[in-house]
Chain A
Amino acid sequence: MKAEATQKMKTAPRTGADLLVDSLIDQGVDTLFGYPGGAVLPIYDAIYRAGESFDHILPRHEQGAIHAAEGYARVSGRPGVVIGTSGPGATNLITGIADAMMDSLPVVIFTGQVAKGVIGTDAFQESDVMGITTPITKHNYQVQRIEDLPRVVKEAFHIATTGRPGPVVVDIPKDISSTVHESEVDSSFHLPGYQPTVNPNPLQIRKLHEALLQAKKPVVLAGAGVIHAKGSQELKQFVQNYELPVATTLLGLGSFPGSDRLSIGMAGMHGTYTANMALYESDLLINIGARFDDRLTGNLQHFAPKAKVAHVDIDPAEIGKNVLTDIPIVSDAKAALEALNQFASDQLDHREWLETTQKNKGEFPLWHVDYETDISPQWLMKKVHEYTNGDSIVTTDVGQHQMWAAQYYSFHQPNRWVTSGGLGTMGFGFPSAIGAQIADPEAKVIAIVGDGGFQMTMQELSLLQERKLPVKVVIVNNQALGMVRQWQESFYDKRYSHSLIETQPDFVKLAESYQIPGYRIDSPKQLEEVLPSVLNDPHPAVIDCRVMQEENVYPMIAPGKGLHEMIGVKR
């Protein structure tokens, strides 16, 4: 982790936009997600002149660009790069910037800005990008001098990709990108205020090891931090050494194989009974790379009440933020696990505990009802899993379909699950699938979306058609904003205020209008006939699956309740 680097960039008479292009190439960027406009015309001209250097992906809305960049970042592990113009271009990116912030995704966003001379005059297509994005970025810049550009780009990529990843915005006034700059540019950077801690404190690691030796009911909670740190192998080794049950967070799915004997599934609001009870009963909770989100913890009073809590996080501010921590470990998840794996794995006396969790797994599994004539959404997820051998990349929006996908599509590997966890963004699933497919052209990518969320970004079908990407869109169509409807049913006495969507486009015809095959599936029989071949077809497709409208996501921790108060558990 080097915060300092020196490089002199020799420049012919070149514009700021050329310097930007050079800097991007220098960072190894070859894919851009962007949308042109007035304030970025010089940048787009430079991109044009750079010819084959970039694969530029043009969405139909800036929100599509940034969600695609997020999907790209999630799957490739490389930063997603986004370009938007000033004013409305920048404000259309906001949802994605906030989403990337909440889910710690490395995204670098370049926004055009009006010329320096008119900033602050409410000029045409001006917006205060710095002011708007400060609370939702890891850091942001407005380039004031052309010679700062190469340094700022370097810093932006460094900040976005190191430590806890996150979005960085670089706002570039139009005169900066269009002015010719002839002299040499020094792009050395120095960030004394930014020095993420990567390696754990050995003392704290020792403490955790000692706690492990004493624990009777230890449990591991694995979050997305494990995936970001590429620490899945180390996690596997760690839990196998000590025979520890592993729960994952929503975003941590895939950090540990869902099918493994030691996996107790997802924890949290719609997690498994086994995982939540294990957290509730445990005497040592080892959180690795999760941030104790409220959707995970439920009522904090009842969260792991008997446990000594160890928390490994690269962001010191996460430790102790929501849950009091006994053993704080500021570290990259992989580095911490490597350090833990140095210890000899003495035989621990918690076999009884492991048996309890195994028994719970068998006795209180996830359950659902299958119907003769209607498709149950949970069954649909199981079928998607079956037909794709469980090895596809799955992206989702937020809501019921997201929870069903999380529950029933068991992930074996990291970076296969792309979902909007923290911000809970409708419209995320489809464009992020496009980005995921661009990052991994060989992968099978399934966008599981709700009928509500899909309608927020479905214009990107045009991009799908243009790029000939074989993404499959599976619409879990219950003609409702399902999770809203479920909450209204449960907590608002069935007053379905504006959550039932009676008028919808014909999704099959919609797909066909983009020359993408569309399918409508109404019955389980039809699903079994159509879905296997469509999912394994090398072309894109939109599959409109009509599912039971009244189906709810269970089990559940109701708002304000504790981990041990799950409802909808089959007994």
Chain B
Amino acid sequence: MKRIVTAIVHNRSGVLNRVTGLLAKRQFNIESISVGRTETEGVSKMTFVVDVEDERKLEQLTKQLNKQVDVLKVSDISEKAIVARELAMVKVISNPQIRSEIQSIIEPFRATVIDVSRESMTIQVTGNSDKVDALIDLLRPYGIKELARTGLTAFTRGHQKQVAEIKSYSLLK
């Protein structure tokens, strides 16, 4: 099952290596990672999308992450009300004849064209991963020359709507 896990970490050299090394050593399959600074000086946030077999594996993952001295907080936010975004840039083969056709395809996705050349155009899209996937699927028939995705980054909404039955992995049950 796919889960979105965030980790607040000290922004020190080697921390990313420590965390990904830990996940690799324990055979967790990482689908994406995005890391960036937060509002607090010296503190970064990592967002992982991981594919775990079951809740036990997930619990082990969060516990192992929590054990790291440089990790301040780990949350599994998959079932919470969250805002999650990914950025992708897609360079599609295109000529002047089909440029407008592509334009019309990307419009409902609120994607933008950020570069155009004679044989290609580059499209930027932000949104949740499903939306990004959908757009890429639509563009694929035209021929994708280059594709870059940032991986998901996410946090919980400001006004947390109480989602029924949030799974808690606390030991205190």
Binding site for B on A (CB under 8 A): 130-131, 134-135, 138-139, 142, 144, 159, 191-194, 201, 203-204, 315-317, 319-321, 324, 328, 330
Contact = CB atoms under 8 A, between A and B. Distances in A.
Given A204-B172, A317-B64, 7 more contacts: A131-B17, A134-B21, A142-B13, A201-B171, A317-B67, A321-B60, A328-B173
A193 B72 contact: yes
B70 interface: yes
Contacts of A319: 171
A316 B21 contact: no
B150 interface: no
A193 B70 contact: yes
A60 to B, nearest CB: 32
A139 B60 CA distance: 19
Interface string B47-86: 0000000001001100110111111100000000000000
B60 A320 contact: yes
B21 A194 contact: no
Residue with the greatest number of chain A CB neighbours at <10 A, chosen from B9, B56, B60: B60
Contacts of A142: 13-14
Contact of B171 (A131, A194, A328): A328
Nearest to A194: B69
Contacts of B172: 201, 203-204
A193 B60 contact: no
Contacts of B18: 134
11 contacts: A134-B18, A139-B68, A139-B69, A159-B69, A193-B69, A204-B172, A316-B63, A317-B64, A317-B67, A320-B59, A330-B171
8 tightest A-B CB contacts, nearest first: A317-B63, A139-B69, A193-B72, A328-B171, A194-B69, A317-B64, A135-B25, A193-B69
A468 to B, nearest CB: 41
B15 to A, nearest CB: 10
A489 B75 CA distance: 50
Contact of B71 (A193, A316, A321): A193
Given A134-B14, A135-B21, A193 B68 contact: yes
B10 interface: yes
B135 interface: no
B5 to A, nearest CB: 15
Contact of B72 (A130, A192, A317): A192
